[in-house]
Each structure stands twice: as structure tokens, then as C-alpha cells.
Amino acid sequence: MMLTDCESEAKAKNQTMQDKILENLTTAVLVFDQNLRVRAINPAAEATLAVSDRQVHGLQIDELFQEDFASLANIKNALQTGACYNKREAHLLLSNGSPLTADYSITPITDSGQTSLLMELQPRDRLLRIHREETIKAKQETARILVRGLAHEIKNPLGGLRGAAQLLARELPDGDLQEYTNVIIEEADRLRNLVDRMLGPTKPPTMEPVNIHEVLERVCSLVHAETDGTLQLVRDYDPSIPEMSVDAEQLIQASLNIVRNAMQAINQFRPLSEGVITLRTRVLRQFTISNTRHKIICRVDIEDNGPGIPKDMVDNIFYPMVSGRADGSGLGLSIAQSILSQHSGIIACESQPGKTQFSLFIPFTNRHIKKHNHGHHTAGALLS
């Protein structure tokens, strides 16, 4: 039966609306044909599985991720019988080698005599990460309130102590005795500077369009100068990432704090000449930070081959004065986290012996980013 022009137009609009809904779902959705080959995948699934639609189109389900034999048999059975199949807390191994814990449901769909499978996949890792981030941010905010109150109580008497030492130095008959008052003044100044550092950034960030790779290259040049080029720095950049509206100086400080920590950890474990720090940039879609879902964000990974962070310290390393080194101040990561908070972002850490990775999640806030000519739509195009 021939469709009228109005019916065809209505069908096209309906299909467009369906595509938009699918693209904006936070649930990962995949469609497999009767041979269990990938027919379609939405952006949330691309982000969850760390793949692209073009990359996986036509792949078998076991080429997309590895699942246990019994579950694959149940999925095939759903295709044959038309029965739905659900699984909770499935442990999947992605094609890039990363593990993923997720709940998924399989729903057979029949169209024109052909049966396809619709998979809806909900990562549990993401929900656990969001809960962990909310807990960490709440604890850090409590810690910041305590530090502000403590700073006020410390700096006031320090100012009086320093002033009294200066007056005493003027009244001393013996100039040699001023050595002791100088010690009082210098230690008072040192404590004041320490308190100021504990407070972190005291002014709001100055947001300007910046290329994130210029920030990282500045960090690399500083580290290269500090190590005389003995430390190997590996760049793994996504060149399609457009400019971001950020405070470049603050992001340089945050990134440099993390890289320096990695450098010092490596130096305790092996010679710097054997150390490797990798700087990696990627764009993530439909990413939630605390209670806010961002259409796209920039992820910056800083990975090192140092000894790793003890498990009992990983959840506490972003608090002031917590350090895994005897000579560490424990302020670098706390300041970095404060800077990311001012950018509505967050820092996460994963560590095991021989590999520690800090990930900076920075939302795009500039809504007027132009498309980059890389043969595909970039993050800027998605924001416009």
C-alpha cells in the first residue's frame, strides 16, 4: 500500500524523534540481528563499552565483550524462543581489556519476519562511582569547612605572635639574641603559608577558551626541565577535542600537582630513567558528576608505572595532610581536587602495583564551540 505524502512526512518525523530519544538516553542500548551481530548502538552504549558505532557495526556479540558461556547460551535461547532474559551484576570483559560490571536485559523484537535482540545495559560501576563521588565530595566539603575554621583560629594568634616577636627584637640589647626572634618570625610565616595552602584556591577561576593540550604541554615542559629529560612522558591525545572554557593556570597547577606526585612515587620505586608517565585525553558522553549529567566531558588520564597506592589510602588521598610519603605535605592532591571542584569537575583514582591512574573529569561549559574539521562531529558540534 502506497503511503501519502503526509503519512510519509509523519513517519519520517516519528523516526527522527525516535533517533533523538535513543541518542539522549542514559541507558546503553544495543541491537543485534538474528546472527547476533551488532546492528545499532546508541551514544550511551558507545561510552559504556568504549567503542564507536562505526567500529563495532557487524561484530559478533562475543567480539564486543566476553561473557560466560551459560549467559551467552541464554542470550541465543532468547533469540530462538522469543523469551526475555535478564542478568544482574554480569562481569563483562570489554574488547579493550577493561572489566565492566553491569545489569542487562535482552528483549527479542520481530520485524518483517526477522527477529532481533534489544539489549539494555546498565553499568553498575557507574552507579557505584557516582555514589562514591558524592560521598567523597561531602566529606571534602566538611573537611574544607573545618580547615577554614581552623585557619581562622590559627592565623589570628600567629599574627599577634609575629608582631610581638618583631617588637621584642627591637628592644633586645644584644643583637645576637635576635637570632631567636628571627626563628619565631620565620616559623610563624611558615605556618601561615601552610594554612594558606591548605585552604586551596582563594579566588574564583577566570574562565577563558583554552585547548586542554596546551595545558598538558605546559606541564610536560615543566616536568622535563625538573627531571633533565630523564623521565619518559608519553602523549596520547585526542586531537578532535575543541577548546574548553577553563582557568588555564589553575588546571596547570592541578595537573602539575598530580604529575609531580607520580614522579616522586616513581623515584622511590625505581630510577626516573625507567619511569613512564602517560597523559591521555578523551571525550566521554552522557557522563554524570555528582547529581549533574553532562552531555559530554573531557577526561584527562595521568598514568604512571610507580609502586601504586595502598588500598587503605586510596579513598583518603584527596584530604589535606594525607600523604603516602614521609616527606610529603599531603596538600597537592587536595588542592587539585579543589580546583576541579571549581570547574564543576572531579578527580578519580585507580591504583594497583605498577600502575596508578588519576582521571580528571572536566565538563564542557562553552556553548559556542565550533566544529573541527576532522571528518566527524566533535565535542563542540554536540554542544552547539
Span 72-87, pLDDT tens digits: 899 989 988 889 999 9
Q: From its phi and psi, is residue 122 left (phi > 0), alpha (psi between -120 and 50) or beta?
A: beta
Q: Cβ distance 96 to 56 under 8 Å?
A: no
For 93, 128, 129, 315, 346, the CA distances from 132, given in Å and listed in that order, are 23, 6, 5, 9, 11
Q: Does residue 324 have a pLDDT over 70?
A: no
Span 31-51, pLDDT tens digits: 999 899 999 999 989 988 888
Q: For the domain 208-383, what is the CATH superfamily, name and number?
A: Histidine kinase-like ATPase, C-terminal domain (3.30.565.10)
CA distance 137 to 126: 16
Report the chain's mean pLDDT, rounded to a whole number.
81
Task: Name the least confident of 180-184, 305-309, 325-329, 341-345.
Answer: 325-329
Taking the domains of the chain in order of start, what are their residue ranges? 23-123, 128-199, 208-383
Q: Does residue 15 have a pLDDT over 60?
A: no
What count of Cα atoms within 13 Å lies in the side-chain half-sphere of residue 88? 0
Q: What is the CATH number of domain 23-123?
A: 3.30.450.20
pLDDT of res. 8: 57
Q: Does residue 267 have a pLDDT over 80?
A: yes
Span 86-117, pLDDT tens digits: 999 898 988 888 888 899 999 999 887 788 99
In this prediction, residues 259-274 reach a mean pLDDT of 88
Q: How confident is the model at residue 285 (pLDDT cuts 50, 70, 90)?
A: confident
Q: Cβ distance 129 to 348 under 8 Å?
A: yes
Q: How confident is the model at residue 232 (pLDDT cuts 50, 70, 90)?
A: very high
Cell reading at 295: 552531555
